[in-house]
């Protein structure tokens, strides 16, 4: 999961028009009387969504979101969000495919699974439910200054993440320029079923070599650390939002993030292959305990006569040597006063982490860190999507989104010995994203 905080300090409040209240207020003004009930009373704005994410032969996730927001007067805004998701399916373990079938021990140590010859090893034990809670308060402070503070909590079976954030924003130049600064502190704890593997320890596979269950368990336990592990993250973000002209506004963000602690994925392994490309053993991956990241983000929105163009670019770099470029664009075309379609295109490209290796070679010196997780390797990805939205006469809105997402991992310059040359070590991942949203 990920914890994010939307830019409350620069966002605008959505206006929900209560026609009856407005008419009542107008009537009162005309008649010169004071309304008995506060006619312009703020209402809760509710946004709900159900998302399906399905990869071919891999992960399937269903995620539900319920979000509520209310202006308690004079831009004193509360927003809260509850997210529930369920995840099932299989995920690439990091091991390479082989010309013969391979047997693996499940990460919990209980049971095994077999991967057919030529197939990419997928660990099919993923099953998790996650709940995420967010609360954010934003209000004016002084001299065109706004402050915002929030808390986030995310809990799944083996992972807990808690975060707090605070930000300040100040308007200049007749509110045409907004400068903001924000800080987020997060603390994560991980406690996977079967324990955290010791980096580079060999996966214990029961092939009849153990005298009894206890002997197997003792060998398995020797590959595990005791207790849980954790990670703390400090995020800083500085932003400038600038209105360019009557139709265009821009935002620039600079983000600096540093994290300290356990960054390893406890479910990922590396194959140790011989000079024929045949797997001799499997070892658990190990990642550095620190990571410092920087991001440069630019977004522009342009009001067309009947729609909106929204384009953003992000450049990110970190001390793991992962550099990435992301272009995201949404073009909204209003079909009528209350319906629209919105094509979406996103392109992403990343370089490999300095410690990424698709496999280890038998007999070579073990590196300090290594991971064969394709998500740390070189890759490009694109998303193509279409959204259709319609506003009901009541002001409530339905929206439907359908997207296709494809990741194409690439060889970052590694020579493939023997049998590996005939196998697909970098298969594409294809996913469908479908979402229904309702705002009221």
Q: List the interface residues with other proteins, window 232-291 (CB under 8 A).
A: 233, 235, 237, 240-247, 249-253, 255, 257, 259, 265-267
Residues 289, 315 contacting (CB under 8 angstroms): no
What is the number of alpha carbons within 13 Å of residue 235 lying toward its C-beta?
A: 18
CB of 296 to other proteins, least distance (A): 5
In whole angstroms, give the CA distance from residue 332 to residue 303. Answer: 9
51 binds other proteins (CB under 8 A): yes
CA distance 5 to 112: 40
Cβ burial of 42 (10 Å; 0-12, 13-18, 19+) is middle
Minimum separation from the CB atom of position 327 to other proteins (A): 12
Other C-beta atoms lying within 10 Å of the C-beta of residue 91: 20
Q: Candidates 61-69, 204-212, 281-289, 359-367: pick the segment binding other proteins (CB under 8 A).
A: 61-69
- CB closer to other proteins out of 229 and 362: 229
Does 402 interact with other proteins (rule: CB under 8 A)?
no
Cβ at position 422, least distance to other proteins in Å: 27
Rank residues 262 and 359 by Cβ distance to other proteins and give the closer one: 262
Q: Does 46 bind other proteins (CB under 8 A)?
A: no
Pattern 11-30, other proteins, x by CB under 8 A: xx-xx---------------
Asked if 4 is part of the footprint of other proteins (rule: CB under 8 A), the reply reads yes
**Span of 9-17, 24-32, 136-144, 203-211 interacting with other proteins by CB under 8 A:** 9-17
398 in Cβ contact with 424 (< 8 Å): no
Scanning 33-41, 180-188, 272-280, 415-423 for contacts with other proteins by CB under 8 A, the matching segment is 180-188
Is residue 433 a contact point for other proteins (CB under 8 A)?
yes
Position among 154, 180, 223, 357 found at the interface with other proteins (CB under 8 A): 154
- Comparison of 282 and 429: residue with beta carbon closer to other proteins: 429
Candidate ranges 111-119, 174-182, 216-224, 418-426; the one touching other proteins (CB under 8 A): 174-182
Name the burial class of residue 265, with classes exposed (0-12), middle (13-18) and buried (19+) by CB atoms within 10 angstroms of its CB.
buried
Q: How far apart are CA 110 and CA 121, in angstroms?
A: 18
Q: Which member of 49, 181, 198, 384 binds other proteins (CB under 8 A)?
A: 49
CB atoms within 10 A of CB 144: 13
Distance, in Å, from the CA atom of 394 to the CA atom of 19, rounded to the nearest integer, reads 10
Q: Which is nearer to other proteins, 284 or 332 (CB)?
A: 332
The residue count of the chain comes to: 440
3-state secondary structure of 418: helix
Closest distance to other proteins from the beta carbon of 169 (Å): 12
Of positions 177, 306, 422, 428, contacts other proteins by CB under 8 A = 177
Closest to 199 (Cα-Cα) out of 287, 123, 108, 260 = 287
- Residue 438 Cα distances to 14, 26, 394, angstroms: 15, 30, 13
Binding of other proteins by 7 (CB under 8 A): yes
Name which of residues 302 to 331 contact other proteins (CB under 8 A): 303, 308, 312, 314-317, 320, 322-324, 326, 330
Please report how close the Cβ of residue 390 comes to other proteins at its closest, in angstroms.
Answer: 14
Question: In angstroms, rounded to a whole number, what is the distance separating the alpha carbons of residues 190 and 229?
Answer: 6
* 71 part of the interface to other proteins, by CB under 8 A: no
Cβ nearer to other proteins, comparing 149 with 219: 149
384 near 404, Cβ under 8 Å? yes
Q: How many residues sit close enough to other proteins to count as binding (CB under 8 A)?
A: 107
User: Which residues, 403 to 422, sit near other proteins by CB under 8 A?
Assistant: 405, 407
- Binding segment for other proteins (CB under 8 A), chosen from 26-34, 79-87, 98-106, 220-228, is 79-87
Q: Is 188 in the site for other proteins (CB under 8 A)?
A: yes
Which of the residues 342 through 381 are near other proteins (CB under 8 A)? 348, 350, 353, 375-376, 379, 381
- Please report whether residue 168 would count as binding other proteins according to CB under 8 A: no
Own/partner pairs, 420-429, CB within 8 angstroms, 24+ separation: 420/96, 420/273, 420/277, 420/359, 421/277, 422/99, 423/96, 423/97, 423/98, 423/99, 423/118, 424/97, 424/120, 425/96, 425/97, 425/358, 426/358, 426/374, 426/377, 427/120, 429/55, 429/56, 429/58
> Does the protein bind other proteins through residue 201 (CB under 8 A)?
no
Asked whether the beta carbons of 381 and 430 are under 8 A apart, the reply is no
Q: Does the protein bind other proteins through residue 80 (CB under 8 A)?
A: no
Strand 307-318, strand 177-190: pairing: unpaired
Q: Among 87, 81, 126, 134, which residue's Cα sits nearest to residue 107?
A: 126
Nearest approach in angstroms of CB 275 to other proteins is: 30
Sequence-distant (6+) residues with CB within 8 A of 281 are 202, 203, 271, 272
Nearer to other proteins, 8 or 419 (CB): 8
């Amino acid at each position: 999961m990920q914890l994010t905080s939307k830019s409350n300090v620069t966002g605008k409040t959505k206006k929900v028009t209560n026609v009856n209240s407005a008419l009542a207020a107008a009537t009162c003004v005309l008649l010169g009387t004071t309304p008995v009930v506060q006619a312009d009373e703020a209402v809760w704005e509710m946004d709900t969504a159900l998302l399906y994410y399905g990869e071919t032969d891999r992960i399937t996730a269903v995620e539900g979101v319920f979000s509520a927001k209310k202006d308690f007067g004079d831009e004193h805004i509360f927003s809260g969000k509850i997210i529930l998701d369920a995840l099932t399916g299989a995920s690439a373990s990091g091991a390479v495919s082989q010309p013969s079938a391979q047997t693996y021990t499940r990460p919990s140590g209980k049971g095994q699974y077999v991967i057919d010859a030529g197939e990419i090893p997928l660990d099919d034990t993923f099953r998790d439910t996650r709940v995420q809670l967010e609360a954010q308060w934003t209000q004016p402070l002084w001299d065109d200054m706004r402050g915002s503070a929030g808390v986030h909590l995310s809990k799944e079976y083996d992972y807990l993440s808690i975060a707090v954030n605070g930000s300040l924003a100040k308007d200049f130049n007749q509110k045409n320029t907004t400068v903001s600064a924000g800080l987020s502190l997060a603390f994560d704890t991980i406690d996977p079923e079967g324990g955290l593997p010791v980096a580079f320890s060999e996966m214990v596979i029961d092939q009849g070599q153990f005298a009894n269950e206890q002997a197997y368990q003792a060998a398995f336990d020797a590959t595990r650390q005791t207790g849980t592990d954790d990670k703390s993250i400090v995020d800083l973000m500085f932003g400038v939002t600038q209105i360019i002209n009557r139709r265009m506004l821009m935002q620039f963000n600079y983000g600096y993030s540093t994290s300290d602690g356990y960054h390893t994925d406890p479910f990922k392994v590396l194959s140790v292959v011989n000079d024929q490309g045949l797997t001799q053993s499997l070892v658990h991956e190990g990642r550095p305990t620190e990571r410092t990241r920087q991001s440069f983000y630019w977004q522009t929105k342009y009001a067309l006569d009947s729609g909106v163009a929204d384009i953003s670019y992000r450049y990110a770099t970190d001390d793991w040597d992962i550099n990435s470029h992301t272009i995201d664009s949404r073009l909204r075309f209003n079909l009528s006063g209350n319906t629209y379609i919105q094509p979406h295109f996103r392109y992403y490209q990343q370089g490999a982490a300095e410690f990424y290796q698709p496999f280890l070679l038998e007999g070579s010196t073990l590196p300090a860190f290594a991971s064969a997780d394709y998500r740390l390797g070189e890759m490009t990805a694109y998303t193509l999507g279409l959204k259709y939205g319609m506003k009901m006469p009541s002001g409530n809105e339905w929206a439907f989104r359908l997207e296709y997402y494809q990741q194409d991992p690439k060889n970052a310059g590694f020579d493939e010995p023997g049998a590996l040359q005939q196998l697909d070590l970098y298969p594409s991942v294809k996913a469908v994203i479908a979402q229904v949203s309702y705002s009221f």
